Amino acid sequence: MPDLFTDTSLAESVARPLADRLRPKTLAEVSGQEHLTGADGALTRMIASGNLGSMIFWGPPGTGKTTVARLLAGDTNLAFEQISAIFTGVADLKKVFESARSRRMGGRQTLLFVDEIHRFNRAQQDSFLPVMEDGTIILVGATTENPSFELNAALLSRARVLTFKSHSEESLAALVDRAEAEMGGPLPLDEDARMSLIRMADGDGRAVLTLSEEVWRAARPGEIFDTEALTRIVQRRAPIYDKGQDGHYNLISALHKAVRGSDPDAALYYLCRMFDAGENPLFIGRRLVRMASEDIGLADPQALVICNAAKDAYDFLGSPEGELALAQACVYLATAPKSNAVYTAYKQAMRVAREAGSLAPPKHILNAPTKLMKGEGYGDGYRYDHDEPDAFSGQDYFPEKLGRQTFYDPPERGFERDIRKRLDFWSRLRKEKQGG
């Protein structure tokens, strides 16, 4: 039997986490991201073309963003540098850029991988623009947050956003198979416990390997753990959704539809099912906030306020007291008047905004802080609504090439009944003022 203290290779193997030992060595080995790394994947095609551009990798933790960036650098013979936005300041960035410039003068380009890139402020994000444009670096930024909200438009216009998906249960099971091959034997879990471990990972490949490693460490020779024992060992509550129709996504879907269908009793039942299964209450809180915007909207503007307050109450109180605040919000949503008018209007407006392009607003509503802009007609003819009868000028605010659009159509329900009256009143005034 090898000695852990004298056998260097074995000691290194034991010291290295399982997730690191199983890190893919080629793009083809990357699991769960076949839409990017498969034979027809976006990244595979990009490498084959020999034209690698800057990219933003967007996706949840444990989906391979860092690994893929390293592999890209290797496959394209680029120097690889990695920084984290959490620990990097402006001075550090300048040093990285200078190193990249030196390499470029020597004929080699740099792939700079920036983890948590959304943590950089706007000015720091702007500092990447010149070195991206002159080819000093190829930027690969990784983020778990929506790039549309967290990254500068200028940065996004120079980088392609690639979406990484959470691992499916099948993909996580394949990772466990690889772990078993690496460890030389099966996980000491019965079939139900093995499925529970996969669900505990919640789509995170790194997490499923870390959990597997914990199980191997804990098991005595010949010992096989069931779900209850697994839960004690890894200190995570095993989901008790059954394998058929009552899984994680089916239950949250049932909760959402019960709220939308104005059935507070069914909504409470599914809420409690999820609490009992060990679901993260803040996940439920986030979904309640979404329901408040998507299904209640302005029919009851207080719904969004109450859901955010419930989320904050859970953050403040913790479990189990905080769950009651979420239950209160759930019942409020189920019993509130329903409207998806804002949701529908948002989708229509987004479609028009994308299709119509960058149309300029009409000049009469543009500010004119300089003489040049005043000379160009900025602000000419603008009427200050507060000085008009009924505080309403009736001017047109859409780009001239687009023409007036109507997206929001409130129903005769809840608070939106009053909004409808106001909009109808303003519509009549607009026609009168515009001679229609």
DSSP string, 235-251: T-PPP---SSS-SHHHH
Of 45, 76, 72, 47, nearest to 57 by C-alpha is 72
The DSSP line for 4-72 is TTT-HHHHHHHHS-HHHHT--SSGGG--S-HHHHSTT-HHHHHHHHT----EEEE--TTSSHHHHHHHH
C-alpha distances out from residue 84 to 125, 210, 398, Å:
13, 22, 42
Q: Is 390:429 a contact under the CB 8 Å cutoff? A: yes
Question: Which residue type occupies 371?
Answer: K
Q: How does DSSP classify residue 79? A: E
Q: Would you call 311 exposed, middle or buried from its count of C-beta atoms within 10 A (0-12, 13-18, 19+)?
A: buried
CB atoms within 10 A of CB 194: 20
Q: Residue 106 and residue 123: Cα distance in Å, rounded?
A: 29
What is residue 3's predicted lDDT score, i.e. its pLDDT?
A: 46
Per 3-state DSSP, the chain is made up of helix, strand and coil in percentages (nearest 5) of: 55, 5, 35
Phi and psi torsions of 381, nearest 5°:
85, 5
Q: How does DSSP classify residue 296? A: I
C-alpha distances out from residue 404 to 116, 338, 386, Å:
41, 28, 22
Q: Is 171:202 a contact under the CB 8 Å cutoff? A: no
Q: How does DSSP classify residue 58? A: E
423-427 long-range contacts (CB < 8 A, ≥24 apart) are 426/392, 426/394
The separation between the first and the last C-alpha atoms of the chain, rounded to the nearest angstrom, is 94
What is residue 14's predicted lDDT score, i.e. its pLDDT?
A: 52
Of 399, 400, 395, 397, nearest to 426 by C-alpha is 395
Q: How does DSSP classify residue 117? A: G
Q: Residue 120 and residue 305: Cα distance in Å, rounded?
A: 29
Residues 6+ apart with CB under 8 A from 308: 289
What is residue 265's predicted lDDT score, i.e. its pLDDT?
A: 94
* Helix or strand holding residue 137 (H, E): strand 137-143
Phi and psi torsions of 339, nearest 5°:
-160, 130
pLDDT along the chain (436 residues), means of 10: 42 68 87 89 88 90 91 89 89 91 91 92 91 92 87 92 90 92 91 89 88 91 90 69 54 92 94 84 92 96 96 89 95 95 93 86 86 85 90 89 90 92 91 76
pTM of the model: 0.55
Q: How does DSSP classify residue 11? A: H
- In the numeric block, the tokens 């620990």 are attached to 87
Q: Residue 276 and residue 240: Cα distance in Å, rounded?
A: 8
* Beta pairing class for 137-143 and 110-115: parallel
Residues 6+ apart with CB under 8 A from 385: 391, 392, 393
**Residue 343, token pair as written in the block:** 């949701």
Q: How does DSSP classify residue 225? A: B
> Exposure string (b/e) for 154-187, b if CB count within 10 Å is 16 or more?
ebeebbeebebbbbeeebbeebbebbeeeeeeeb
What is residue 244's predicted lDDT score, i.e. its pLDDT?
A: 39
Of 137, 70, 124, nearest to 98 by C-alpha is 137
What is residue 367's predicted lDDT score, i.e. its pLDDT?
A: 86
Residue 222 backbone zone (phi > 0: left; psi -120 to 50: alpha; other: beta): left
Of 238, 191, 192, 240, nearest to 211 by C-alpha is 238
Range list of β-strands (E), 144-206: 160-163
Q: Domains of the chain by range and CATH?
A: 33-163 (3.40.50.300), 248-335 (1.20.272.10), 361-433 (no CATH)
